[in-house]
Copies of this chain bind each other. A is one copy, B any other.
Amino acid sequence: MRRIKRSDRLGAMMQTLMAHPNRIHNFSEFCDMFQAAKSTISEDVDILKASVGQFGYGEIETLTGASGGVRYRASISPDAAANELKKLATALSKPERLLPGGFLYTSDITSNPEVASLLGRMLAQMFYATNPDFVLTMETKGIPIATMTAHMLGVPLVIARRDTRAYEGSAVKINYIAGGSGEKLETMALARRAVKPGQKAVIIDDFMKGGGTLKGMAEMMSEFQAEVVGVGVMIATKEPVVKRISGAKTLMTLVKADPSTGETVIEPTDDLTNQGEVN
C-alpha cells in the first residue's frame, strides 16, 4: 500500500469538514479515514486552519476536552460582508423590481442558492454564540435563506405553515397580526412534533415590515415552551421604525420605495456585529 502523504489528505479532510459546517469531528474519524496517527492529523488540521484563516472566508477551530475535535465554521470578514451586501442592495434597488402597491420583487434573489448561501453564512455567524437547537422560518419566500442558515449552523430547519396540513399531523394553530400598517389577522400552524419544550430557536425571514410575522413566530415558540435566542432578517423596512418584535438583526434596510417614481433605496447594514438584543 502506497504511503498516504499530507498533500493527499488535506483536500479530502477539508471537504469532510465543509460538508458538515459547525459539526465537531473527532480526530479519530480522520485517523481511521487516513490510517494516520493523531499527531499527524493534528498537524494537518493546523495547516488547514492557517490556510483557511489566511485566504478563506471560514474558520477551522480545534476544541479540546472530552467532546473535543475539529470543526469548520462558515464566516465572512466585515469588509467582505459589507462589499457583498452593497452589491446585493444595488441589485435589489433596480426600478424594475418595484411592483404595483409598492411591493418589491425579490424572489429571484431570495431563492438563488448562491445568495442564500452567502446570507446564510452571515446570519449563522451572527448566531453561533446563541447555540440554537433549530432555525425557524415561515413559508415560503424565506425558506432557501433559512435552509442555508440552518446548514451553516449545523441544526435542523423548522417551517411554520399558513395552515394545517394532513401530512404534518396534529398541529398548533395561532392567529397573529400581519402587515406593517393594517391589522390583518392571519393564521400560522406548526406540527406539534416539530419542536420540544426547552429548545432554543433562531428565527429567520427574508423581509420585515411591521414585524408581525416574526412576532407570530415568537408567539408560536411560546406555545411550544421554546426560547427565541435570535431573530435575523434579510431586509427590514425603515418605516415603521417601531416593529412588533425588537432586537431583530437585519442585513439590509429598505429606506425608500416610491411606486410613483420607481425609486427604491436599499442600504446594507454597516456593522453586522453591533445590533440589539432580541426582546
* Residues of chain A whose beta carbon lies under 8 Å from any beta carbon of chain B: 6-12, 14-16, 18-20, 33-34, 47-52, 54-58, 60, 99-101, 103-108, 111-114, 116-117, 139-141, 143-144, 147-148, 150-151, 154-159, 161, 166-169, 191, 193-194
Smallest CB-CB A-B distances: 5 pairs: A11-B51, A12-B55, A113-B151, A11-B48, A14-B14
Contacts of A57 in B (CB 8 A): 15, 19
Contacts of A114 in B (CB 8 A): 20, 151, 154, 156
A9's closest neighbor in chain B, by CB?
B51
* Main SS at interface, chain A: helix
A159-B11 in contact given A55-B33, A147-B113, A167-B99 (Cβ < 8 Å): no
CA distance A65 to B78 in the complex (A): 37
**A95 vs chain B, min Cβ distance (A):** 13
Number of copies: 2
User: Are B166 and A99 in contact, with the CB atoms below 8 A?
Assistant: yes
Which one of B7, B33, B54, B156 lies within 8 Å of A113 (CB-CB)?
B156
Contacts of A56 in B (CB 8 A): 11-12, 15-16
Which one of B55, B107, B117, B194 lies within 8 Å of A159 (CB-CB)?
B107
Which one of B8, B20, B104, B148 lies within 8 Å of A50 (CB-CB)?
B8
**A136 vs chain B, min Cβ distance (A):** 10
Which one of B10, B47, B103, B169 lies within 8 Å of A14 (CB-CB)?
B10
CA distance A166 to B141 in the complex (A): 13
A11-B193 in contact given A111-B159, A151-B117, A166-B101 (Cβ < 8 Å): no
CA distance A158 to B193 in the complex (A): 29
CA distance A156 to B107 in the complex (A): 11
Which one of B14, B16, B139, B169 lies within 8 Å of A139 (CB-CB)?
B139
User: Are B157 and A144 in contact, with the CB atoms below 8 A?
Assistant: yes
**A48 vs chain B, min Cβ distance (A):** 4
A159's closest neighbor in chain B, by CB?
B111
CA distance A55 to B20 in the complex (A): 16
Q: List 18 A-B contacts (CB under 8 A).
A: A7-B7, A7-B10, A10-B14, A11-B48, A11-B49, A11-B51, A11-B60, A14-B14, A14-B15, A15-B18, A15-B56, A99-B169, A107-B168, A107-B194, A111-B147, A113-B147, A113-B157, A144-B157
Contacts of A166 in B (CB 8 A): 99-101, 103
A15-B58 in contact given A113-B147, A159-B107 (Cβ < 8 Å): yes
